Amino acid sequence: MKMIHMTDGSENKKPLMRALGEFVGHIWSGITHDPAKDGGRDRMVVDKEVREERRGKTVLRETVVREIEIADGDDEESPV
């Protein structure tokens, strides 16, 4: 079995055809997935704040996203 050498120097023992099949499977599930069947929760982004600080060659970026999630029906369980 031929090893696939990753860019970080590690080796992946998974055959190329297996990796390709998993990739196509992920794409296919994304195409056929119905987001309306995800439990009936509505999510709305209410605020997004991005702070960026540059120091020489280094950039520190902090992103804060605040969301509101509302469950449909009589679902009493916590969304978290």
pLDDT of residue 45: 77
Long-range CB contacts (< 8 A, 24+ apart) of 54-63?
A: none
pLDDT at 80 exceeding the cut of 60: no
The DSSP letter of residue 40 is S
Letter string b/e over residues 44-79, b meaning 16 or more CB atoms within 10 A of that residue's CB: eeeeeeeeeeeeeeeeeeeeeeeeeeeeeeeeeeee
**29-54: per-residue pLDDT in tens?**
989 988 777 665 677 778 889 899 99
